[in-house]
Amino acid sequence: MASTLAHNDPYTQEFIHPPRLLSALIEKTVKQGSLAFYDSRTGKKVRFGDGTGPEVVIGVTIAGAAKVAANPDLALGEAYMDGTLTILKGDVRALFDVIFRNQEAAAFSRTTAGSLKLRIIRAMQQANDRIASRRNVAHHYDLSADLYRLFLDDDLQYSCAYFAKPDFSLEEAQQAKKQHLIGKLLLEDGQSVLDIGCGWGGMALEIARSADVAVQGITLSEEQLAIAAERASGTRANFSLTDYRDVTGTFDRIVSVGMFEHVGVPNYDTFFRKITSLLADDGVAVIHSIGRKDGPDITNPWIAKYIFPGGYIPALSEVLPAIERAGLWVTDVEILRLHYAETLHHWFQRFIDHREDIEALYDERFCRMWEFYLAASESAFRGQGHMNFQIQLAKRVDAVPLTRDYISDHDRKAIKFETERLSANDRHLSLV
């Protein structure tokens, strides 16, 4: 059934009825929700789904339709970036909400490659030797820091926040995340700490503020290093441009937040054996990473090409065997399910709020690419089996307490302290 869009439709491109191959693909995928394609030649919409929920209306050109039908995993994002697929009603988040509320879409988005093909593809995508790792990191993290300042929290935390309370702001949730991890590290004065993949330094600096410890942060991003080093002035945190494979020495505590996704399955044994060699006999390490619940897969080709070359989201079934082979105890595992979905929701909204500023830094195509990335990522955590895991590791069976009470006790103290600090700051500002 078709109807006419409003006569004042501002779009001037020629949008077509989706061709037969694309229509068949959509009909197979979208059983629930309201998705429609606008045909500018007839002025009518062609609808898919059962009509429930907010309607999303798409315009697609001949070139865009052909590409999407031939290779949807890659070309859907490319068509959106290039403007050959335009959302006329709703936004890109609403589009993904329609797509991924369908079980058929969930199956469609996962590979059915056999184990041999899977290993070959991943070996090619995720070799991540020292040169490739530096290049891949630069692709994403050496973008202008001004971009990240426009949509991240004040501390530039570019990883999953921890919404200990559902009404937390992004800043509060990122602070809670840092303290949640610090609670698992069991810091004591005089210790040495290694932060693998330190980003702009926020986690390492928070650790240095939390105890009298020396923190070494490493990154492969020159842009991140410059900012982290500047922020570290007057603290016991130091930062360097170093590959984790090249770190030497012994550390009482090791933390890695949002870096493990860039290691690559072929390097998991190397990574955890390095943790073993660097960690003191009574030491504790905590790894915070995105994960997937549905078992091994490959990285979406659009994400691999445009956003995170060399990146991969692991299943726990791929990670734990490497930990076992490295001779480490898994002393705690925590799964954060929807926390990253909420984080990405905040990031997307802030990105949209500052879109004009971001376009001035880059261009319209870049903005559309990042909108697609942030929206697709949020959908993956809401409906496609993505989550975050935090794995605590040790060499000794008695390195951490027998129960997890120490983690929740630390969280409560940290939240109380932060609430009192913010309240005192508000009172101070009201007197100024």
Query: Rounded CA gap, 295 and 328, in Å?
Result: 22
From the CB of residue 42, how many other CB atoms can be counted at a distance below 10 Å?
Answer: 12
**What is the pLDDT, as a whole number, of residue 14?**
87
- Are 174 and 139 within one domain? yes
Helix (H) or strand (E) holding 31: none
| CA pseudo-torsion sign 403, 409, 410, 415 | positive
* The residue count for the chain: 432
What is the predicted pLDDT for the residue at 126?
64
Predicted local confidence at residue 418, as pLDDT:
84
pLDDT of residue 2: 34
DSSP bridge partners of 56: 35
Close Cβ partners of 417 (under 8 Å, ≥ 6 residues apart)? none
Could you tell me the CATH number of the domain that includes residue 67? 3.30.1050
**Is there a contact between 237 and 205 (Cβ–Cβ < 8 Å)?**
yes
pLDDT of residue 3: 33
Are 129 and 174 in the same domain?
yes
Does 39 fall in a domain? yes
CATH code (residue 237): 3.40.50.150
Q: Which domain holds residue 292?
A: 123-431
**275 and 401 part of one domain:** yes
Which residues is 390 bridged to in the sheet? Answer: 288, 334
* pLDDT score, position 17: 86
161-177 tens-digit pLDDT: 999 999 999 999 999 99
The per-residue b/e assignment along 271-309, b for 16 or more CB within 10 angstroms, e otherwise, is bbebbbebbbeebbbbbbbbbbeeebbbbbebbbebbbb
Query: Which residues is 39 bridged to in the sheet?
Result: 44
Find out whether 217 and 239 touch, Cβ atoms under 8 Å. Answer: yes
Q: Is residue 115 part of a domain?
A: no
For residues 200 and 279, state if they share a domain.
yes
pLDDT in tens, 66-109: 999 989 899 999 999 999 999 999 999 999 999 888 865 555 44
Query: What pLDDT is stored for residue 242 in this prediction?
Result: 97
Considering the domain architecture, whether residues 226 and 163 belong to the same structural domain is answered as yes
| Strand order across the beta sheet in which 214-219 lies | 237-241, 214-219, 192-196, 251-257, 279-292, 386-394, 329-336
Residue with tokens 């050496």: 142
Regarding whether 147 and 34 lie in a shared domain, the answer is no
pTM over 0.95: no
Q: Which residues contact 88 (CB under 8 A, 6 or more apart)?
A: 5, 9, 11, 38, 57, 58, 59
Number of independent structural domains in the chain: 2
Q: What is the pLDDT of residue 91?
A: 95
Strands 214-219 and 192-196: parallel
77 and 209 share a domain? no
Q: Which residues of the chain have pLDDT under 70?
A: 1-12, 103-128, 131-132, 134, 136, 423-432
